[in-house]
Amino acid sequence: EKNCAEGTLDVTALNKGDEPFTFQLLDTEYTIAPGETRTVPVPLPEDRPYDFTVRGPAGFEQRFTGVL
């Protein structure tokens, strides 16, 4: 979700499983407990394109592109 007031793109992950879920976002790993939600604000420059991919286990990938 774009958060222009804060200059961030807020990436929210929800773990619906019964095991911890670990994902990598911009060279940092985050682990979410079962049933939990975590929002990670990604600081971005305004009016500049961004392009990054969130990666997780079993080949999970989600790419984010756009302009803040």
Q: What is the pLDDT of residue 31?
A: 97
How confident is the model at residue 51, as a pLDDT? 95
Provide the pLDDT for residue 18.
Answer: 96
Q: What is the pLDDT of residue 4?
A: 76
3-state SS class at 58: helix
- Supply the CATH classification number for the domain 2-67: 2.60.40
- Other C-beta atoms closer than 10 Å to the C-beta of 46 total 8
pTM of the model: 0.81
Instruction: Give, for all 68 residues of the chain, the pLDDT tens digit.
Output: 887 778 899 999 999 999 999 999 999 999 999 999 999 999 999 899 999 999 999 999 999 999 98
